[in-house]
Amino acid sequence: MEKIGIFCSASNKIDAVYFEKARELGTWLGRQGKTLVYGGSNQGLMECLAKAVKEQGGRVFGVVPTKLEEKGRVSKWVDVVFHTCNLSDRKDTMVDESDVLVALPGGVGTLDEIFHVMAAASIGYHSKKVIFYNINGYYDALLSILDGLEAAHFARCPMRHYMVASTFEELVALLDS
């Protein structure tokens, strides 16, 4: 897996632990010579991650919707920019350009992205791994809901296309496998 797609927060107001973990992941990606595929923003975890990847020699692909460009929120750390018309195109491009997709903590946008990817996998559009990086139990409640969907047979098939990493070591093991 060389191109790692990552969904995450663009907020600068979140707890420092999330920035620390994003920086740790970005540093690892850069040192491993991986390519980050992400939303291209110069805000929050997105910027933190891209900067760490670049500082360690990795490549950064930014998938940037028009509205982000219009607002001047494109990261300076991006090597390649994929211009998209809207958020739907952004999600599809990220799936197409990534070998695996990881959800760091984020808000509604991150949830929209990860659900889009999971829904596409559930009906066969791709078979890429989806990993929740469950920093400090951030996704515990959501993962419980997903387990409930499967238990109540609302999921068409077992939801095996997603995995959970609660520690950096678990995440690296999943990315290396």
| The pLDDT of residue 161 is above 70 | no
Residues 7 and 107: their CA atoms lie apart, in Å, by 10
Residues 104 and 5: their CA atoms lie apart, in Å, by 11
Whole-Å CA distances, 168 to 41, 119, 151: 23, 26, 28
Please, are residues 4 and 36 in contact by the beta-carbon 8 Å criterion?
yes
Residues 110 and 174: their CA atoms lie apart, in Å, by 20
Average pLDDT across the chain, whole number: 94
Give the CATH number of domain 3-176; options: 3.40.50.450, 2.10.70.10, 3.40.50.10490, 3.30.70.1900.
3.40.50.450
Phi/psi for 59 (5° steps) reads -105, 155
Residue 159 has what pLDDT? 65
Residue 51 has what pLDDT? 98
Please, are residues 46 and 10 in contact by the beta-carbon 8 Å criterion?
yes
**Listed residue (104, 111, 103) closest to 87, CA to CA:** 111
Rounded to an integer, the average pLDDT of 31-56 is 97
Residue 150 has what pLDDT? 84
Residues 110 and 96: their CA atoms lie apart, in Å, by 17
Q: Could you report the per-residue pLDDT of 129-140, keeping only the tens digit for each?
A: 999 999 999 999
Q: How far is CA 118 from the centre of its chain?
A: 12
Domain ranges, ordered by start, for the chain = 3-176
Sign (positive or negative) of CA dihedral 164, 101, 126, 88: positive
Residues 166 and 172: their CA atoms lie apart, in Å, by 11
